[in-house]
Amino acid sequence: MKYDVLIKNGTVIDPAGAMSCVVDVAIIGDRIGAVGENLPGEAAAVVDAKGLVVTPGLIDFHTHVFYGGTDIGVSPDGAFLPLGVTTAVDTGSAGSANYAVFSSAIIANSVVRIKAYLNVCPAGLSTVKYHENVSPQCYDAAKMARVLDRYGEEILGLKIRISKELVEAAGLEPLRQTIALAEQFNLPVAVHTTNPPEDTAEIAKLLRKGDIYVHVYQGTGNTIIDKDGKVKGEIKAARERGVLFDAANGGNHWTYAVASAALEDGFLPDIISTDITTKTLYKAPVFGLPYVMSKYLNMGMKLEKIVAACTSVPARLMNLAGKIGTLQPGAYADVAIFAVEKASVKFPDTKGVVMVGEQLIVPKMTMKDGIVLYKDIAMS
């Protein structure tokens, strides 16, 4: 057998394939050709990953990449490929009024694979000078329908933010109306929950199987933790009926007090993502996905579960299980290689509380569709 690339001696962590062991990964063209011990055959290029961790290309499920179309959008290829991220989901940067531009300017021209949630506000998140208008009378259902008809393969669901400062006296009514629209379009909803207008238990009660509760560990206003320091029963019940919980760190949406209480109670995130913007790219408290993943590693979460939250789980939610988020034969050859280094690292949360960690996940190589797009000079 002849391979284009053979990655040897690395510890392969592939939750979708129930694999966490030292094996070889062979690539033929843009696909994973084989995975196994001491694979026979020749390779045009051999990568020695001894002492390193080999994972599927990471999926950052909550980002903002409408570069040039919003104040907060980052340029996806430069922001993600050096960090082992090969797929990203833009969560509501564009709405029905500007999604066509987002698709043609960003999605069509990025090496990084991009999907999106459509903001219920027609203008999306165009500026930081004022908040988007989430009043239901401003939703444009007819235009949404046309956008979904044309770009449905790209769009995963609808996005709304329901912070007090946005909804004001409307409370949870904008969320209810968003869910009604989502029912009409047969789509899930991703809901931003920081500083919610009502108890988080009431938000959880509204959400359906497949909906995403975003910023689950946020610490402003009402949180998911009850007066006894445990995760609220309604939050746990929502998970049991299929609601997903995204950590979505962001610059203002993650605190150790809530995260540590939740993890202590066994309530791990389904998804670990960055909510990356121009304000947080390569800067604390976000920097990028490996940095955010490192927080959970230092808080005692198993690396295999961390990787699953950035690969197999989001791949399934994107209806791409078996194609991305895995290193099983036949999948696209999206591969990330990391070192888990001992290092004293400061991890501040969004309230300024600092944890000093002892481990850091450091990107060493990124491949997308079998092509090396980032490589640490030490790997040469």
Q: What is the pLDDT of residue 380?
A: 67
For CATH 2.30.40.10, list the domain ranges present in the chain: 2-55+329-379
Would you call 369 helix, strand, or coil by DSSP?
coil
pLDDT band at 378; cut points 50, 70, 90: confident
Rounded to an integer, the average pLDDT of 352-373 is: 97
pLDDT score of 297 more than 80? yes
The CATH homologous superfamily for domain 2-55+329-379 is Urease, subunit C, domain 1 (2.30.40.10)
Percent of all residues in the chain with a pLDDT value above 70, rounded to a whole number: 100
28 Cβ contact list (under 8 Å, min separation 6): 2, 3, 4, 370
Query: What pLDDT, on a 0 to 100 scale, did the predictor assign at position 35?
Result: 97
Q: 26: which strand partners?
A: 6, 34
Contacts of 335 (CB under 8 A, 6+ apart): 7, 25, 27, 54, 55, 56, 57, 327, 365, 366, 367
If you write DSSP's letter for every residue of 330-358 in order, what string do you get?
TSB--EEEEEEEEEEEEEE-TTS-EEEEE
Sign of CA dihedral 73, 120, 117, 225: positive
**Residue 57 above 80 pLDDT?**
yes
Task: DSSP letter for 312, please.
Answer: H
Residues whose CB is less than 8 angstroms from the CB of residue 236 and which lie 6 or more positions away in sequence, other chains included:
267
* Statement: residue 249 has pLDDT above 70: yes
Is the pLDDT at 82 greater than 90? The verdict is yes
pLDDT tens sequence across 112-131:
999 999 999 999 999 999 99
Q: Percentage of residues in the chain with pLDDT exceeding 90?
A: 98
pLDDT digits (tens, 9 = 90+) for 257-286: 999 999 999 999 999 999 999 999 999 999
Q: Is 344 a residue whose pLDDT tops 70?
A: yes
| 63: nearest Cα among 324, 292, 338, 359 | 292
What are 134's strand-pairing partners? none
- Packed helices 173-185 and 141-151: angle between N→C axes, nearest 10 degrees: 40
Average pLDDT, the chain: 97
pTM above 0.75, yes or no: yes
SS3 for 30-98, per residue? Answer: CEEEEEECCCCCEEEEEEECCCCEEEECEEEEEECCCECCECCCCCHHHHHHHHCEEEEEEEEEEECCC
Q: Output the pLDDT for position 41.
A: 83
Which pLDDT score, from 0 to 100, does residue 2 have? 93
Helices (H) and strands (E) in the chain, counts: 11, 17
Q: Which has the minimum average pLDDT: 56-60, 202-206, 375-379?
A: 375-379
In the chain, list all ranges with CATH 3.20.20.140.
58-317
pLDDT digits (tens, 9 = 90+) for 5-37: 999 999 999 999 999 999 999 999 999 999 999
Q: Is the pLDDT of residue 89 over 70?
A: yes
What pLDDT does residue 281 have? Answer: 97
CATH architecture of 58-317: Alpha-Beta Barrel (3.20)
